[in-house]
Structure 1
Amino acid sequence: MKILAIFTGGTISCSEKNGVLSPDGSNSFLLLKSRPDAEYETAVPYTVLSENTGLTELEKLFGTVYENLLGDYDGIIVAHGTDTLQFTAAFLAQKLGLCRTPVVMVSANYPLSDSRSNGFENFGAAVDFIASKQGRGVFVSYKNSGAEFAEIHRGGELLAHASYSDALSSLDGNVYGRVANGVFIPNKNYIERCNEAGNKNSLSGRVMWLRAHPGMIYPPLTGEVKAVLLEGYHSGTLNTDGNELRAFCASARKSDIPLYLTGCEEGFNYESKSMFESLNIIVLPKMPPVTAYIKLWLK
């Protein structure tokens, strides 16, 4: 089995010096030594802490992955930081679709030198999943703290982290499967929502993302903004009774900036929702907000 391992930095590559964690490229190669049962080639398009990931890094990573999809690899593993893992996974999932070569992202909640780290387990589960030959497209291999096994998530199904937590979860618990004792076990109830073909558009990055909260202050809209993503409360609602949202929507309409709402599913037809059409708010289909954000980047 031949695997391309792509190292991008993040906690999974970090070393501590004087109490500060910084990427150390040599640490990533410890992952390969932990699973000598595969043959590896490596690539390093960049090395950053994942919170410093921007459009440039995403395009570099996509280029590295894309140019190797037709190689003789059984799979590609991308070692990445945990902070922005969902964003990069959603981006690759949108760009690559159901590519024949599985691309599996891994990260670590602590540096590999820390006994609490799940990095080796996440990497090992990725290798086992690739060996199973039971998946096409982009995935994330991750074992939550306290969990018995690592789960395999679709790249476009991940929800953002809860505050103060490194745990990963898929929308509606729609995980692709799990790896137990070196064996991939598919989720029999998994619902496939990934598009076959990838998105050919380039990143723009000019999307404003606003999350609903009481007393919300809406920022002014400038010519740099091409779209606005509104994330509603858990039932998909927004405060449509106050003047703030109405003024913001009027400003967006005047500037020809589309407004999209994520987090709003069918049912729970509160009267506040009846205002969305008149405010020119476009309600998106059900998907993780992170995926909605990336889709608008590529729109």
Structure 2
Amino acid sequence: MKILLVITGGTIGSTTTNSTIDVDNESSDRLLKMYKDTYGENTDFTVIQPVNLLSENSSFESLNVLCNIMLSIDYDSYDGVIVTHGSDTLSYTSSLLGMLLAFVKKPIVIIAANYPIDDKRSNGLINLHSAVAVITSKKANGVFTVFGYENEHTVYLSTRICEADPYCDRFSAFGGAPLGYTANDKFIINNNKISPTIQELNNKNERLFDTIKLHNSIMLIRPYPNMDYNAVDLSRKPAAILHYLYHSGTACTTGGTKNFLEFAKLCNDKGIPLYIGSCKHGDIGYITAKEMEKLKVQKLYNISMESAYMKLCLAYNQSCISPCELMSKNLFFEYLP
């Protein structure tokens, strides 16, 4: 079994010195030695390290390096690819790679760790082992994210993993249902109404990009009580704005400078595309949501904040198709049914 291991840093690629965690240039050698000592020599790993940083320091510059490396890989030379990553921005990079690499007919698995691997509390080795199981099972192609807890070895669709809870460091699945899990070195896919089937995962997807260069900024806004839109600086004119909504698909529609409707009109006057999500389908809805329907904004339905943001980053940093056309495509199951 030949697997390409793409090292990018993060906690899984760090060590602790004087109570401080930081990335370590020898992390890949240590990770593979510990893996082989624990699980044996049955897997042939090839290692590359395009970037080496803590994921909270992720930027368009580092994402461009990683994405273009991933786009240049000869996937026919490997049974699968594993990307090690930091946990802080794991859900963002996972979403981006899922939509960018949906055309690849091999499993790509992104993993992270809760502690450096030389810490006994770390789940890094377990996550690596689960990622290998996803690949060796040869069940499904696509981009997946693995992050386990004790006896839980959860596999997420890369476009549906949501940022971890800051208290217990647990990730969750947008829509409430992870894709599956690993057990006894097998990849088991959950049977539920919102997850794609194995056949759907293995369907052929078109390749949209040969290279990518992220440079145009997207502004991300989340609502909160008493939010004052006068504090939002539009002077640098972002390429687009994603205004994520409360879970009911709503935002404040009263209160002058706290009124989303007035902010939307301002964006329209300034020629800044405004996207809102995650919106809800249905015949009934809150009056605040119905007031928003009258606006000249782009509505995104049933999509996580991370996937909506990273998809807009793709849409407004390419010239293959119009941003609106790209946003309308379901690139890798980022839109739930």
> 1:93-108 residue pairs with structure 2 within 5 A?
93-108=98-113
RMSD: 1.9
Find the partner of 1:266 among 253, 262, 281. 281
Q: Secondary structure at the match of 1:122?
A: helix
Q: Is the 8 Å Cα contact of residues 113 and 127 (structure 2) preserved in structure 1?
A: yes
The one-letter code matched in structure 1 to 2:132 is V
Match of 1:242 in 2: 255
Once the two structures are overlaid, the 10-residue window that deviates more, 284-293 or 174-183, is 174-183
- Would the alpha carbon gap of residues 31 and 205 (structure 1) be closer, same or farther in structure 2, given more than 3 Å must change? farther
Q: Secondary structure at the match of 2:15?
A: strand
Once the two structures are overlaid, the 10-residue window that deviates more, 118-127 or 240-249, is 240-249
> 1:260-299 residue pairs with structure 2 within 5 A?
260-267=275-282, 269-299=285-315
Residue 197 of structure 1 pairs with residue 191 of structure 2? no
1:199 deviates by 4.2
Unmatched 5+ stretches in structure 1: none
Once the two structures are overlaid, the 10-residue window that deviates more, 243-252 or 105-114, is 243-252
Match of 2:221 in 1: 210
Match of 1:232 in 2: 245
Q: Is the 8 Å Cα contact of residues 69 and 101 (structure 1) preserved in structure 2?
A: no
Match of 1:92 in 2: 97
Residue 254 of structure 1 pairs with residue 251 of structure 2? no
After the TM superposition, which segments of 4 or more aligned residues of structure 1 sit over 4 Å from their partners? none
Q: Secondary structure at the match of 2:93?
A: helix
Q: 1 CA distance for matches of 2:177 and 2:188?
A: 14
Match of 1:19 in 2: 19
Match of 2:86 in 1: 81
Q: 2 CA distance for matches of 1:105 and 1:29?
A: 18
Q: Is the 8 Å Cα contact of residues 129 and 179 (structure 1) preserved in structure 2?
A: yes
Match of 2:32 in 1: 32
> 1:147-166 residue pairs with structure 2 within 5 A?
148-166=151-169
- Would the alpha carbon gap of residues 213 and 165 (structure 1) be closer, same or farther in structure 2, given more than 3 Å must change? same
> 1:5-154 residue pairs with structure 2 within 5 A?
5-33=5-33, 34-35=35-36, 36-144=41-149, 146=150, 148-154=151-157
1:10 deviates by 0.5
1:136 deviates by 1.2
1:198 deviates by 4.5
Q: 1 CA distance for matches of 2:289 and 2:20?
A: 47
Q: Secondary structure at the match of 1:128?
A: helix
1:238 deviates by 0.4
Match of 2:333 in 1: none
The one-letter code matched in structure 2 to 1:3 is I
Q: Is the 8 Å Cα contact of residues 278 and 303 (structure 2) preserved in structure 1?
A: yes
Unmatched 5+ stretches in structure 2: 316-337
The one-letter code matched in structure 2 to 1:288 is S
- Would the alpha carbon gap of residues 39 and 175 (structure 1) be closer, same or farther in structure 2, given more than 3 Å must change? same
TM-score by length of 1: 0.93
Q: Is the 8 Å Cα contact of residues 94 and 199 (structure 1) preserved in structure 2?
A: no
1:174 deviates by 3.2
Q: Is the 8 Å Cα contact of residues 237 and 272 (structure 2) preserved in structure 1?
A: no
1:280 deviates by 2.3
